[in-house]
Amino acid sequence: MMEETPTQNIDKRIQMAVEAFQFLKNTTINERAEFMNAVADQIEVLGVELLEVTHAETSLPLARLIGEKARTTGQWRSYAKAVAAGIYTEARLDLAQPEKQKGDLRKYNVGIGPVVIFGASNFPFAFSTAGGDTASAIGAGCPVIIKAHPAHPKTSQIMADAITTVVKAFGWPEGVFSHITGTSYEIGAYLTQHKDIRAVAFTGSFHGGKALFDIANSRENPIPVFAEMGSINPVFAFQNLLETKAETLAKEYIASLTLGVGQFCTNPGVFISLKGKPLDRFITVLKEETQYVTPVNMLHKGILESFEKNRSSAIEQPDVEIIMSANTATEDSKVSASIIKTNAQTFLNNPVLSEEVFGPFGVVVACETKEELVKIAQELKGQLTITVAATHEDVRNNDTLINILKDKCGRLLFNGMPTGVEVVYAMQHGGPFPATTDSRFTSVGPDAVKRFVRPISFQNWPDEFLPEELKNDNPLQISRMVDGVMNSESLKLQTI
């Protein structure tokens, strides 16, 4: 049972974060990077106890947890490297010139202040207490107040203790990182509406993310909420590819759909194609492959109940054909995959069928014409990912449709499946609403740091009082834009 953090303790933690922010503002990018690498080291030495505790709380297999732990330490280290490189300072220097009225202008990015982060249930390491959101915020120079996810309280506490250990070892203020527990909606609302919080990061349901977004925007001083709220991640399969690779594509699709019991935000929940023999072959193999999928426990009771409810609702809709309807939950709560089929008009006219069913559930949509494919693309809500299963000829023959799809997602795939998110600079894990609340940002990859910084410009300031990032001699040796040209050189200027 997760213990509720009292409101007065939350107020104290927020005040400590406010004070810690003043400290972090004066740390260099190198110092923050050193801290982040130390957190990675501390997590890395957490042994079998962490894995066993998390396995017991989430039912995730040990092999998956070992991989996720490695991803988590990798996030901290890769984000630290990016922070130390000065990428997110975006230093800009426009030097004084006789013809310039405003003289010397220098701009860079600073942290925005205390950040509240809500731990996610489906990635207890990589998207929870010590996940990428926490690493991003600290890298930006922002204190973090983490709201632990109630589905894995012991895991969250172990990870929180690891970060706190590093805070103490570095002699940094305690308020750099705080761990808040509780199951009530009121705690999340209280944190989000507190006047001293400057941003919120959330990964979870549309209902939860939208509620936080609305609270944040109703404040006297509105703040950004970076919420990832789910996606159906449609796959558009075109004829030339389907005619030659229907069987292979079916195997790839079911493997992706059921990976991690379908509990990935990039789970490909909808498959869209023209009707005909190639699609019929695809469905035949889909039926066969689904039977071989081993039933597995979902993360926790709440997700299981939501899956059963939403799955049943979709299956019960009119003009829906059941391709595979295995038991949603056996006596030991293990879940199997379910897939339904419908036509384009039903899919377009029934919003229930285009809502995310978080779990191993897929919808096959058979279209009569290319025009129906285009219509579905036009009506799609914002997505994290969209996959184009196609040959080069298919792409050339469907340029209008594909141009529409570019406006609907954060990541557009050419073949392959969307599950498996690489933690690299070019990854975009975010998309148009309602996939996320701000499609300009990503929550995966070093660019996630961008969410928690803001620019400040200094005009005509003496060099000795400028931040390290903007000084003439460039002591941090970062790349800067000086009078429109990128370089990392020192400036030989006479100081004021």
Could you list the active site residues?
A: 228, 265
> Does residue 365 contact residue 348 with C-beta atoms inside 8 Å?
no
What is the distance of C-alpha 55 from the center of its chain? 22
Q: 270 - beta bridge partners?
A: 363
Position 17, amino acid: A
Instruction: Report yes or no: 24 and 143 within 8 Å, Cβ to Cβ.
Output: yes
The residue type of 194 is H
Torsion angle defined by CA atoms of residues 407, 454, 7 and 180, in that order, rounded to the nearest 10 degrees:
70
| Beta carbons of 227 and 436 less than 8 angstroms apart | yes
Amino acid in position 319: D
In DSSP terms, which residues pair with 457 in a beta bridge?
107
3-state secondary structure 213-271: HHHHHHCCCCCCEEEECCCCCCEEECHHHHHHHHHHHHHHHHHHHHHHHHCCCCCCCEE
Interhelix angle 48-58/153-170, rounded to 10 degrees, is 140
CA angle 450, 456, 459 (to 5 degrees): 150
Residue (of 140, 168, 151) closest to 204 by Cα position: 151
Q: What is the DSSP letter of 99?
A: T
End-to-end CA distance of the chain: 61
Asked if 206 and 375 touch (Cβ cutoff 8 Å), the reply is no
Non-local (6+) Cβ contacts of 14 within 8 A are: 114, 145, 191, 194, 196, 197
DSSP state letter for 484: T
**Chain length of the chain:** 496
> Which of 60, 29, 183 lies closest to 127 in space, CA to CA?
60
CB 71 within 8 A of CB 126: yes
SS3 of residue 327 by DSSP: coil
Q: How far apart are CA 433 and CA 411, in angstroms?
A: 14
The tokens for 489 are 């050189």
395 within 8 A of 388, measured Cβ to Cβ = yes
